[in-house]
Structure 1
Amino acid sequence: MQRRKIVVVLKGYPRLSETFIAQELLGLERAGFDLILVALRRPTDAKRHPVHDEIKAPVHYLPEYLHEEPLRVVRSLFAYLLRPGFWRALGSLAADIPRDFTRNRVRRFGQALVLAAELPEGAGWLHAHFAHTPASVTRYASLLRGLPWSCSAHAKDIWTSADWDLAGKLSSARWTVTCTKTGFDRLKKLANGNSSVHLSYHGLDLDRFGSFGEARKHNDGSAPDEPVIVLSVGRAVEKKGYDTLLEALALLPGDLAWRFEHIGGGEGLERFKALAQKLGLDGRVSWKGALAQQEVLEHYRCADIFALACRITANGDRDGLPNVLVEAASQRLACVSTDISGVPELLSPNETGLLVPTENPVALAEALELLIRDPVLRARLGDAAERRVRGNFDHMASIGQLKELFEREWRAAE
């Protein structure tokens, strides 16, 4: 069977916070697929992960805002105005506009026109990463070009999109995968039991995150010159719960020796720095900023505890199963997080990690103190977490599942 070129539509590329997408793209290339990457937004990160340089697929950028490249948009409009696909796509836009009367909806249609008009030769399949804006562009482009499409849904896109919007995309896509059981249950319900929704943990490239064989320190917080290192990796945004984590750290006993290190950028970084100062944590907190993957790996191996206080925000936004938790666990790092979304699918309480209720700095402080004081417990939880990751979260299982889906549906489409 001849393989079609897959056009992968992304919100932005490359992005430091989306290594799970990059490793999937590389895995698909290594499995023999011919990819073309199309991004709605140019990169904003100053650094790149090594995996981005290993991906061979060419990258194309659509106009982020239509008024910035009007000639591309007008040229694409005239190229499609008299084609049957234009009226199919316009009919879909007309049905969507009354329920989402926003500029963004029109922008996605304009981006889809440019995508359809400039689609590279030989492209035969469209695949969207994220079920919100990338899937909107992909769905319209699918109608314009008469091409099949599929979707990988993750977290924010599942929980902040309207039911009608998700349901329409699920019925239009040939298949959809998502990476947590909670997300799968929501999509399956909206799809009315449609068998085209699949659970697929994106997992971890275990070659890149090899086993950490060195013995960890047995510091227990009793010696000021041997502090226990608490690490967190994540963007400084509301759903990561860094205000709750900082409040929990401030509740720890004053005579306990610890340090907190944060890796990541994000619009809330200055606010969290100010909160740390207000809580009197200045001398114990290090803000590392965004780092490349190899540097992050070294921090996992030097830390004693990994903490992430995930929460559900007012608009429903939340993490699925944060990839950084899987990464930390792969390095035998004892993890503490909250009991929401897909986190319990990795961390079983007192077995592979510690779980606390969300929005509860007191409970989080108690869990952190327990781990700081007990290096034996840290070692037991870290060992068990690594075994779970290496037994259940190898990204090659996901690549195999995606390969089967693409090839099976290509046969059906033909």
Structure 2
Amino acid sequence: MFVDRIKIFAQAGKGGRGCVSFRREKFVPKGGPDGGDGGRGGDVILRADRHVDNLANLFYEPIVRAKNGGHGKGKKMTGRAGADKIVNAPAGTIVWPVQEEKRPTPINREQASSAQRPTSNSDPIVDLTRDGEEFVLCRGGAGGKGNVHFKSSRNRAPRQYTDGEEGEEGYFLLELRTIADAGLVGYPNAGKSTLLRKISAARPKVAAYPFTTLHPIVGVIEFPGYRRATIADIPGLIEGAHRGLGLGHEFLRHITRCQVLVFVIDVAGSEGRNPVEDLQNLRREIDLYDPTLSDRVWLVAANKMDLPNANKNLDALRQRFPKISIVPISAAKGEGLDVLKQALASYCSSFLKLEMLHIYRQVKALRGVDTFVVTKEVQNAEGFPFDDLEVIPKRRTNLLVHGWLKFVERRPPIVYRGEYQTLDSLLERHGADLMHIYFGHTGVHLLPFIEQWDKPCVVSFHGADVAHKPEIKDYPGKLRRLFNAVPLVFARSQSLADRLIQLGCPPEKLRINRTGIPLNEFPLVDRQLPRDGKWKVVQACRLIPKKGVATSLRAFAIFKKDNPGAEFFIAGKGPLQPELEMLAGGLGIARDVHFVGFLPQPQLLDLYASSHLFLHPSEISPNQDQEGVPNSVLEAMATGLPVVATRHGGIPEAIDHGRTGFLVAEEDHVGLANAMQLITSSPALLKRMGEDAHSTVVERFEQDAQIYQLESFYEEAIAMNGAAEPVKSKPIVEIAPQFAERLPVE
């Protein structure tokens, strides 16, 4: 239900009354008065909240009251202050005072809220336009005075006190006027909602009947140059809207804040209308409602250009309005909208393995570009659904080539040369402006295509693709070719960027794009200490050498000696599982170690919520493979889990030693166990570390901020394409010499 106008009754809390009390203590003579004052009543506060889009919350709570203050107490103690009542309202809410004899009831409040209007001589008392802006609608009453205030030389034992003051109260009319940079104005079925769906992430209802949209819907559009704009889909108007016909006033008031008016016209006349007359009538309705709107910047979106008669009517429209910008479009087919969004191809050879959830989140969260995925293999489609997915078909000749390369030359390729033409056709059909290649070794296999394609490519490195790869001949040399062929290179962490520089990547091409965590999916959990020492420890990862699970098992064996009720849950699968199960048996902890495999996100969240510690003692593998910033570490931190990990790769960029967790040396299971014991021995430390861990993810790894930065990198790469010289931007990475000795030497 969408509510944009409602009347409420607000009442602040009453102050508590003063106390009559006298000092009475053992072995002390009778003392004088010590009655404390009453507590202050709570305020009623309006707060603009960008997460609230209408006033529906007040429809179910039209009477808003704050708490009363507590009464004063003896020993001159002031009563407890009443809790404020905070009412969240969308930005753009205007408040007027109104007169009403009766308080609204559930029966008549909807009718009263729509019919009640402010008096002609009343001015709004507040206009909430900024997110987080607050206004005290009703102030709470002051607390009464205790008898200590009435003591005098003539009356040393006063019994007077005063009652608390009444809180302010009143009737108020709240009206929402949508805040947007531009507003889509038009008749019903002109295609406004379809247009908004195409150019933004908003999803208004679209149907083949008029008045599908019954309330304003705001979408966000990403423009080149890292700029964003909001655009509102206003419900369809009819003749006489300025007089209130067809809820005209209820709709028209939402465009009063728009700086630009976009008139969406059915230029094909598919509803039997005349496009020229439609535009004239719409302009007249706007002018009659509010003459100041005629001075706003406006343009025309000539929609439904894919239908018959559209071109003829477009010429007539341009002849009638020769000085007005008229943009021919087809919202249904997405034609004519190229100027608003760039097309991005996300290339991932397999879409998608269970351990690559972070890639799925990133691709799904993109809003400023029109994204489609190119892959050779679809995995776990039910867990990673994606609408615009292009699968490169396998060629029959590839089977023989694949067998030769895999079993004779021992270097199976990810991409075959015969697939380049198919890839080129896909990119051309989608009008791709840029291709983002996930993983450096995939970029190496695509090198011939990258060097010949006339559009730019960017490649992102995630950790394993920086390690030595014997199956790829001259891998470091090909990486240097790759660095020269692309305008930008993405790294998940600073430590990963340092290694790429050592491998020959120019620092000015490197950009740090960290993993983003959707905080709405990983909320902070209020954990309770376990009973009887039943601590629950968890590690979520693939069971491969660099994850250090063997170190975790040895540390848990030590930790369990002092905490016999502890349990260890390992969420993940991998080739080392049989070996790790044997190790747990040899350490005598097999009964309390649970290999639960890869878990769906709801079950993984439940495991995080019920756990108390998270382990991730990563270590450099024999082939020099190391972590960026492990995604599971960030997810655990987001829920408030303290983390004990190692000084490895990008982990120190996420964990502040001693504040959000503890860091030990690689393969140091004794140090790991000591850190676990230190955290669990102090409930205050456990709680503080969990809260600080969540705050760190909010500040450094919040998904929306990382996506916005990534989209700005895309725009930068597109702008660099075809430049006479590479764009010289300030390097955002620094060389870390400590990694130089670990690089493979060819």
* Fold shared, TM-score > 0.5 on shorter chain: yes
How far has the Cα of 1:321 moved from its partner?
0.6
Note closer, same or farther for the CA distance 1:13–1:345 as it changes in structure 2 (3 Å cut): same
Deviations 1:280-304 (A, max 9, x none): 1121111211111121111111100
Match of 1:179 in 2: 492
Gaps of 5+ in 2: 1-338, 403-408, 470-474, 723-746
- The percent of aligned pairs where both chains have the same amino acid is 24
Decide whether the 8 Å contact of 1:138 with 1:149 is kept in 2: no
Note closer, same or farther for the CA distance 1:42–1:240 as it changes in structure 2 (3 Å cut): same
How far has the Cα of 1:411 moved from its partner?
3.2
CA distance in 1, matches of 2:619, 2:613: 19
CA distance in 2, matches of 1:65, 1:197: 39
Decide whether the 8 Å contact of 2:464 with 2:627 is kept in 1: yes
Match of 2:259 in 1: none
Match of 1:123 in 2: 432
Match of 1:266 in 2: 574
Match of 1:104 in 2: 412
Higher relative contact order (CA 8 A, sep 6+): 1
Decide whether the 8 Å contact of 2:343 with 2:370 is kept in 1: yes
Whether 1:236 and 2:543 are equivalent positions in the alignment is: yes
Structure having the higher Rg: 2
CA distance in 1, matches of 2:530, 2:411: 55
Q: Secondary structure at the match of 1:270?
A: helix
Gaps of 5+ in 1: 74-100
Q: Secondary structure at the match of 2:554?
A: helix
Decide whether the 8 Å contact of 1:261 with 1:286 is kept in 2: yes
Whether 1:22 and 2:329 are equivalent positions in the alignment is: no
CA distance in 2, matches of 1:327, 1:157: 23
Please list, as runs of the form range in 1=range in 2, the aligned pairs for 1:269-348 lying within 5 A after superposition: 269-348=577-656
Residue among 37, 47, 67 paired with 2:398: 67
How far has the Cα of 1:26 moved from its partner?
1.0
How far has the Cα of 1:17 moved from its partner?
1.0
How far has the Cα of 1:271 moved from its partner?
2.1
How far has the Cα of 1:217 moved from its partner?
2.0
Decide whether the 8 Å contact of 1:47 with 1:292 is kept in 2: no
Decide whether the 8 Å contact of 1:204 with 1:326 is kept in 2: yes
Whether 1:56 and 2:378 are equivalent positions in the alignment is: no
Residue among 351, 360, 374 paired with 1:38: 374
Match of 2:529 in 1: 218
Note closer, same or farther for the CA distance 1:331–1:400 as it changes in structure 2 (3 Å cut): same
CA-based RMSD of the aligned residues comes to: 2.7
Decide whether the 8 Å contact of 1:218 with 1:375 is kept in 2: yes
Q: Secondary structure at the match of 1:195?
A: helix
Q: What one-letter code is carried by the residue in structure 2 that aligns with 1:135?
A: G
Decide whether the 8 Å contact of 2:350 with 2:375 is kept in 1: yes
Decide whether the 8 Å contact of 1:236 with 1:265 is kept in 2: yes
Please list, as runs of the form range in 1=range in 2, the aligned pairs for 1:161-200 lying within 5 A after superposition: 162-191=475-504, 193-200=506-513
Match of 1:81 in 2: none
How far has the Cα of 1:117 moved from its partner?
5.1
Number of corresponding residues: 372
Note closer, same or farther for the CA distance 1:217–1:210 as it changes in structure 2 (3 Å cut): closer
Q: What one-letter code is carried by the residue in structure 2 that aligns with 1:131?
A: G
CA distance in 1, matches of 2:522, 2:397: 41
Decide whether the 8 Å contact of 2:459 with 2:489 is kept in 1: yes
Decide whether the 8 Å contact of 2:483 with 2:505 is kept in 1: no
How far has the Cα of 1:406 moved from its partner?
1.6
Match of 1:382 in 2: 690
Worse-matched range after superposition: 194-203 or 324-333: 194-203
Note closer, same or farther for the CA distance 1:108–1:158 as it changes in structure 2 (3 Å cut): farther
Q: Secondary structure at the match of 1:17?
A: helix
CA distance in 2, matches of 1:379, 1:390: 17
How far has the Cα of 1:189 moved from its partner?
4.2
How far has the Cα of 1:138 moved from its partner?
3.3
Note closer, same or farther for the CA distance 1:235–1:304 as it changes in structure 2 (3 Å cut): same
Whether 1:402 and 2:715 are equivalent positions in the alignment is: no
Whether 1:249 and 2:553 are equivalent positions in the alignment is: no
- Which of the pair is proportionally richer in helix? 1
How far has the Cα of 1:114 moved from its partner?
4.3
How far has the Cα of 1:323 moved from its partner?
0.6
Q: What one-letter code is carried by the residue in structure 1 that aligns with 2:709?
A: Q
Note closer, same or farther for the CA distance 1:204–1:281 as it changes in structure 2 (3 Å cut): same
